[in-house]
Structure 1
């Protein structure tokens, strides 16, 4: 990243971080550094409205007014061999979730219902370390069936860690975007997952990007990370240059190691959203899991006016979301246009 002009002294303690961000991010489109982001995350509560307004201005200038709407569906649920401590789909924890597969007709129906909401993205998700031949075959058959149904919605996938051969297969199937979250800062990752590494996830993302698929990569806020690690994580995502960053907030699912973790407080969540926008001025920043629990209806509107420019409608795999129509009504009330499918092709 190009350093800010020396005379601006952006990292000097006496400088005003909102003013620095206004010049650096809004004015020049240059992301804040991890050190600067930490100052944003520590900004006093009384300045939160000012910070959210700036984040919204950044979003409008560098991304535009449209909101991208997406729906997700679980093709293979539960029974995952990994120990991601936040996840109720791990087969290693005593959660209520049990392994199950969705059949192809169910996948086609879900894609049809998703498009009917006005969504342009449909993400096929599987709870696995990485896809085996059966899963890759199911994905291929599912995509073919969706297209034969006359549905031209954009199809994304989230199938865990990939080999180069699998990356190439997904490209050949017509998958245009791949989701694989880094979940948290590199320094915090070993506290969250022990059965694989942050670096393994990064390698999948590298192959996806080099193959020409769009990269969707985000994480979960509220897993015991420090503010320093939140700033670190945002800067690491910026270094990846993803097309999309889904922002999730921890849902303390029963049976997981994090079942007793506190829910992220609403104003803290909004401050984090603004910081991520200032780290990723040109990136699709998507409201994802946990926003209803953390923010509620009013907070969701504030988030849409504080840097968010995409949203998942409906449910989140094993957790319930809001009815899709409520989110669509919210976008209407805020006079935010939904990105049309032909604008994503």
Structure 2
């Protein structure tokens, strides 16, 4: 077989996966299979714009033009007993992050500032294996104080692995969405975390889903996983049927086992975002940590036009993000309306 023939057959295959996706995902709303996602992830650079355009069409068809804006705050930072290799908040690694707690007035102020950006979602995050009584009490007091301050922003939580009793308690507090990332494909997870299992995380998500809270579950790209594992992770997330999937890109953290990992290239990040949109046509895909480092301003705009329909504004947990004003200005320039609070309740 000549090189020209091989190139011709390859081109046909590349066109076929997008043609199949257009009929299967755009027209019928059926997400791609694992093999199909892998084909998309292996599309060459000259097919990227076609892929992004299709992902945007899928987002508009099945999710609409609105963008959900969220802010997050860490109520308990650092000192986590788990060994997630990407995380500077692990107490097992010699990172610069030290354990600290945020008081109730600080939580109220953070919620107020988040609401003032136009965000409709405020997520309370803690670096823990799972919440103890002290943390659950502080979350309850914080939510009550936020409500008493007159702030009606939606409140989500990310507090690690839960028991059924804790799930029920969060529902009673009025927490409407719970974040607990699976982080990576099941086959790759033991390379990333050894102090707990992928299945333990899945069990928490199952209980959250059955309790009626919205499920927020995503992961981090760029932790040494293969294309096959990225495709595997996409369909595992789709099986979970989450309301929202945060798309994070690894930020190598000093003192962690991944501190010397290279960040993934912008085109690869965009290809992954688009592939995940085609795997989950109706799911909210949120730009989260690492997009500034991986994509920059132009790439962020391309992502918003390539399947993304939600965004975290401001800073992340231990990393600086873009100023909220820049993201809100970007959405205005792209003529993408911010999802109203009444639409998220």
List aligned pairs for 1:117-136, cutoff 5 A. 117-136=117-136
SS in 2 for 1:16: helix
CA distance in 2, matches of 1:277, 1:296: 20
- What is the CA distance between 1:343 and its match in structure 2? 1.1
Indicate the residue corresponding to 1:8 in structure 2: none
Indicate the residue corresponding to 1:253 in structure 2: 253
**Is residue 42 of structure 2 the alignment partner of residue 39 of structure 1?**
no
List aligned pairs for 1:76-87, cutoff 5 A. 76-87=76-87
- What is the CA distance between 1:14 and its match in structure 2? 8.0
List aligned pairs for 1:13-92, cutoff 5 A. 16-92=16-92
Indicate the residue corresponding to 1:9 in structure 2: none
CA distance in 2, matches of 1:213, 1:200: 18
Indicate the residue corresponding to 2:181 in structure 1: 181
CA distance in 2, matches of 1:193, 1:246: 19
CA distance in 1, matches of 2:31, 2:94: 42
- What is the CA distance between 1:161 and its match in structure 2? 0.1
What whole-Å deviation, never above 9, does each CA across 1:251-273 have from its counterpart, x for those lacking one? Answer: 00100000000001000000000
Indicate the residue corresponding to 1:303 in structure 2: 303
CA distance in 2, matches of 1:204, 1:285: 21
Indicate the residue corresponding to 2:140 in structure 1: 140
Retained in 1: the 8 A contact 2:14–2:43?
no
Indicate the residue corresponding to 1:293 in structure 2: 293
- What is the CA distance between 1:15 and its match in structure 2? 6.7
- What is the CA distance between 1:344 and its match in structure 2? 1.0
CA distance in 2, matches of 1:34, 1:90: 32
Cα separation, partners in 2 of 1:42 and 1:152, compared to 1, 3 Å: same
Indicate the residue corresponding to 2:191 in structure 1: 191
SS in 2 for 1:76: strand
CA distance in 2, matches of 1:14, 1:210: 39
CA distance in 1, matches of 2:14, 2:32: 17
Indicate the residue corresponding to 1:4 in structure 2: none
Query: Deviation above 6 Å: which 4+ runs of structure 1?
Result: none
- What is the CA distance between 1:327 and its match in structure 2? 0.1
SS in 2 for 1:122: strand
- What is the CA distance between 1:317 and its match in structure 2? 0.6
Indicate the residue corresponding to 1:222 in structure 2: 222
SS in 1 for 2:295: helix
Indicate the residue corresponding to 1:273 in structure 2: 273
CA distance in 2, matches of 1:62, 1:14: 24
CA distance in 2, matches of 1:180, 1:64: 25
Cα separation, partners in 2 of 1:134 and 1:206, compared to 1, 3 Å: same
- What is the CA distance between 1:204 and its match in structure 2? 0.1
SS in 2 for 1:276: helix
Indicate the residue corresponding to 2:168 in structure 1: 168
Retained in 1: the 8 A contact 2:78–2:97?
yes
What whole-Å deviation, never above 9, does each CA across 1:24-58 have from its counterpart, x for those lacking one? Answer: 00010000000000000000100100000000000
CA distance in 1, matches of 2:14, 2:146: 57
- After superposition, the CA RMSD in angstroms is 0.9
SS in 2 for 1:269: helix
Scaled by the length of structure 2, the TM-score of the pair is: 0.96
Indicate the residue corresponding to 2:212 in structure 1: 212
Structure 1 gaps, min length 5: 1-11
